[in-house]
Amino acid sequence: MPSNKKLRVLIIDDDDMMRSFLRIMLRAAEVINIDEAGTAKKAVKLFNTQKFDLIFLDINLPDEDGVVFISTIKNKLPDCQIIMVSSEATKDRVSQAMKSGAKDFIAKPFNATIVESKVKQLVSELV
Q: What is the pLDDT of residues 2-26, one digit of tens each?
A: 567 788 999 999 999 999 999 998 9
DSSP state of 5: T
Query: pTM for the whole thing?
Result: 0.91
Query: Which pLDDT score, from 0 to 100, does residue 121 have?
Result: 81
Q: How confident is the model at residue 120 (pLDDT cuts 50, 70, 90)?
A: confident
pLDDT at res. 49: 93
SS3 state at 61: strand
- What's residue 64's pLDDT? 96
CB of 54 closer than 8 Å to CB of 7: yes
- Structural domains present in the chain: 8-120 (3.40.50.2300)
Q: Count CA within 13 A, CB hemisphere, residue 87.
A: 6
pLDDT of the residue at 118? 83
Range 30-48 burial, b when 16+ CB lie within 10 A, else e:
ebeebbbbbebeebeebbe
- Distant-in-sequence, close-in-space partners of 5: CB < 8 Å, separation ≥ 6: 30, 31, 32, 33
- Predicted confidence (pLDDT) per residue in 43-60, tens digit: 999 999 999 999 999 999
Query: 118 versus 65: which is more confidently predicted?
Result: 65
